[in-house]
Amino acid sequence: MAANVERVLVTGASGYIATHIVKQLQEAGYRVRGTVRSVSNPVKVGPLKELCPNPAHELELVEADLTKDEGWKEAVQGCSHVLHTASPFPLAAPKHEDELIKPAVDGTVRVLQACQEVGGVERVVVTSSCYAISDLAETPKEPLTEENWLKVEKLGLNAAYAKSKALAERAAWDFVEKLPAESKFELAVINPSVVLGPALCGAPGTSVEIVRRMMERDPFLAAKVSFPVCDIRDVAKAHVVAMTLPEAAGNRHIIAPCTLWYLEMANALREEFGKQGYNPPTSLAPYFLLKVGSWFDSSAKTIVQIHGHKVNFSDHRLRQVLGITPYDPKVTLVDMAYSCIDRGFIVKKSAYKPRD
């Protein structure tokens, strides 16, 4: 534990990524404060208190909502480091992209503004995304690096979400750059790809749909699409390391150690779960079927946009700067599938054998 860290604030503490961060921070002996929208919600608050058995310091939870000003100054008070993981995400696709972009940008600025006004914060780590680097609809010859930025004027896969992550991150860099000398604090950014891995509590993010569909063979045939993937435990560790590592300040950090084809991921799951009643797809869907489907189905249209594309990202800062050796992606997938089955997010087959 770094001696100069007084207390760490984790925003959106009940989130998929945040729960792993809170757990790792508590295991390292840090004092941790987390924000939730309601401290009186036992479904979310209860499991958070149990993330780390016998912690040196009990987890403190406070109320703060990214869409409101109230509570943020109180949340930041007494914290030397802030890990901003919270980001609004609608359950349904927004009618207009501003419904997603505005709260993401405003929420990030709201947290940074509180850090400036309260004072005493030394560094903020912001959770961005690889979507702030690329929307995955391109096919670059070389791995993308932290120098690359999404061209927000370009429409592509998940345009509103990608734009929200890019613009929120830009807003963070612009805010910190314009801070007066007397209220300066450092900024580090984490840019994870598609985050997979076991959930500690609650739902394991939107990425559960990728694994659920593979396990339940929905659809029957696999599309020729790829996903840059990373392990949730590596993402959490990246936040914890970037919080105090001198070389992390003022930099972005891509967490995307590999890119896998959908069929590669399905094969890894079939090796583990094939004898347990699960039958992930084994064959590719012809392109013409996807093309025809895209005329009637918006999700198929999205698949057509990235069909055959494979985007690779540099893992230099992940390995060489943060010093993280990433999980084997097959281990990540299998761990996530077991977690999702045990938690009821994937149908439990009669032949399923839970881990000891």
Q: Which residues partner with 124 through β-bridges?
A: 82, 187
Q: First vs last Cα of the chain: how many Å apart? A: 32
Which of 356, 345, 325 lies closest to 16 in space, CA to CA? 345
Catalytic residue among 23, 44, 163, 165: 165
The residues near 52 (Cβ < 8 Å, ≥ 6 apart) are 22, 23, 26, 27, 59
Which of 56, 120, 53 lies closest to 82 in space, CA to CA? 120
The tokens describing 351, both together, are 């032949």
Q: Which amino acid is at 146?
A: E
User: Could you give the maximum distance between any two Cα atoms of the chain, in Å?
Assistant: 63
Q: Checking phi first, is residue 55 left (phi over 0); if not, alpha (psi -120 to 50) or beta?
A: beta
The tokens describing 8, both together, are 């760490």
**What's the residue count for the chain?**
356
Q: How many CB atoms lie within 10 A of CB 3?
A: 6
The residues near 312 (Cβ < 8 Å, ≥ 6 apart) are 140, 143, 144, 228, 259
The residues near 186 (Cβ < 8 Å, ≥ 6 apart) are 122, 123, 124, 176, 249, 250
- Give yes or no: 165 in active site: yes
Residues serving a catalytic function are: 165
